[in-house]
Amino acid sequence: MSVASHTAEQITAVRLSGRPLVVCDVDEVVLSFIGPFETYLADSGFRLVARSYGLTGNIERLDDGTAIAQAEVGRLLDEFFARETARQRPVEGAIDALAALEAVADIVFLTNLPKAYRDTRAEMLVDHGVPYPVVANEGPKGPAVGRLAATGGRPVFFLDDSPSNIVSVRDAAAADHVIHFVADRRFFDLVDPIDGIALRSNSWTETGDFIRAAIDAATRKA
Ligand SMILES: [Mg+2]
């Protein structure tokens, strides 16, 4: 699996200092996603039923309760990112934790998002006080994290809510510490534990402390 060319270009433009590297997803890790997306769905005549982890199969029409197909889920997501992302608020503790980590690490946001929305997303993160580089990716994140890690310092941390992204980065051995972070409590409870990762969390206090301790331990060893 390779990196899409537009993603590779963005990665090449990222300047890293050689300090430890934190590669962090955005939706449902730094910015709330499920809540605002549910509001958007309700306004559009749909609802999310948290029966299992994921969106496809869990979005129903309000009028007849039928689940909608993946293509329509994709269309709703696209509309949401085009029109509604201003409703996304920071996840509790995320901004403070990242700002504290910036003292000891490089931070890069790696977000699976249509590239047309990348700049809006980056401006929004700046407005929230986390002005770190934003890379818009598509597909599995393992290859993109591998590229970032190749030019950054160690240790490398990767945070994401999506099990497929977690597995992709774990299997690519692209990060030293893989952290499965799901802010939404219902989905955190629904998600299956994944083997071979460093931490599963829905708390930025716990996650920030974990990253800080791992950096301290690596610094002592060096
Ligand atoms: Mg996400």
- Residue-wise pLDDT tens for the chain (222 aa)? 689 899 999 999 999 999 999 999 999 999 999 999 999 999 999 999 988 888 888 999 999 999 999 999 999 998 998 888 888 999 999 999 999 999 999 999 999 988 888 999 999 999 999 999 999 999 899 999 999 999 999 999 999 999 999 999 999 999 999 999 999 999 999 999 999 999 999 999 999 999 999 999 998 887
The token pair that represents 102 in the structure block: 């910036």
What does pTM read for this prediction? Answer: 0.94
What's the 215 CA to ligand 1 centre distance in angstroms?
24
Burial class (CB in 10 A: 0-12, 13-18, 19+), 71: exposed
Instruction: Give me the residue spans of the domains in the chain.
Output: 5-32+89-221, 34-87
What's the 221 CA to ligand 1 centre distance in angstroms?
32
CATH T-level assignment (fold) for domain 5-32+89-221: Rossmann fold (3.40.50)
What's the 158 CA to ligand 1 centre distance in angstroms?
12
